């Protein structure tokens, strides 16, 4: 049987079946609470996660969380596939990646991101203040350079 299973490429599914039998035995017969990381949600797409939506319908979904960022024209400028992370945990990563590259005037999120709206708003302000500070330093250096050249010209004359 094992040669036939290998030929048909069923070894992976047999291992998943053994894992599922173990989970069922532990949960139903032994009464154990199965840790979330050990749970099996799909035998075909092993990256599948349980996504609790917090909505009336559907209360949950199975799949993979993603974050997609688009600009004012609807063009996708960034995407992120979450690795066992909640929506609210990736906002900082997204903000850190996008703020240096794009001028962001406003940013809107769904409910999952609500707690980090303040962080993002402050990040936008901080980034813009940093840009303003850099520009002021450049202007100050130009003034000093002009003043130095005036002094050099006076001494040369």
Residue whose C-alpha is closest to residue 118's, from 147, 156, 88, 145: 88
152: confidence class by pLDDT, cuts 50, 70, 90? confident
**What mean pLDDT is reported for the chain?**
77
139 lies in which domain range? 68-157
Is 45 within a domain?
Answer: no
Number of domains in the chain: 1
Is 63 within a domain?
Answer: no
Is 46 within a domain?
Answer: no
Is 40 within a domain?
Answer: no
Structure tokens at 89: 């945990």
* pLDDT tens-digit series, residues 132-144: 778 888 888 888 8
Q: What is the dihedral of CA 24, 30, 31, 33, to 10 degrees?
A: -70
Is 39 within a domain?
Answer: no
DSSP letter string, 32-86: PPPPGGG----SS-TT-EEEE--SSSSSEEEE--EEEEE-TTS-EEEEEE-SS--
Is 102 within a domain?
Answer: yes
Q: What pLDDT sits at residue 116?
A: 53
* pLDDT tens-digit series, residues 65-109: 777 787 778 788 888 887 777 666 777 778 788 888 887 766 666
119: confidence class by pLDDT, cuts 50, 70, 90? low
* pLDDT tens-digit series, residues 55-70: 667 777 777 877 778 7
As a 3-state breakdown, the chain gives helix, strand, coil percent values, each rounded to 5, of 55, 10, 30
Is 129 within a domain?
Answer: yes
Structure tokens at 141: 């250096």
Query: What is the rounded distance in angstroms from the CA atom of residue 112 to the CA atom of residue 14?
Result: 37
Is 19 within a domain?
Answer: no
């Amino acid at each position: 049987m094992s040669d036939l299973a290998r030929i048909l490429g069923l070894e992976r599914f047999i291992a998943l079946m053994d894992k599922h039998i173990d989970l069922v035995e532990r949960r139903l017969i032994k009464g154990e609470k199965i840790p979330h990381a050990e749970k099996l949600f799909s035998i075909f797409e092993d990256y599948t996660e349980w996504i609790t939506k917090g909505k009336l319908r559907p209360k949950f979904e199975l799949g993979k969380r993603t974050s997609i960022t688009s600009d004012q024209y609807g063009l996708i400028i960034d995407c992120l596939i979450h690795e066992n992370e909640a929506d609210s945990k990736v906002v900082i990563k997204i903000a850190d990646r996008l703020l240096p590259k794009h001028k962001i005037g406003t940013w809107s999120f769904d409910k999952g991101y609500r707690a980090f709206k303040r962080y993002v708003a402050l990040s936008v302000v901080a980034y813009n203040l940093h840009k303003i500070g850099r520009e002021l330093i450049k202007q100050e250096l130009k003034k000093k350079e002009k003043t130095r050249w005036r002094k050099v010209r006076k001494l040369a004359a």
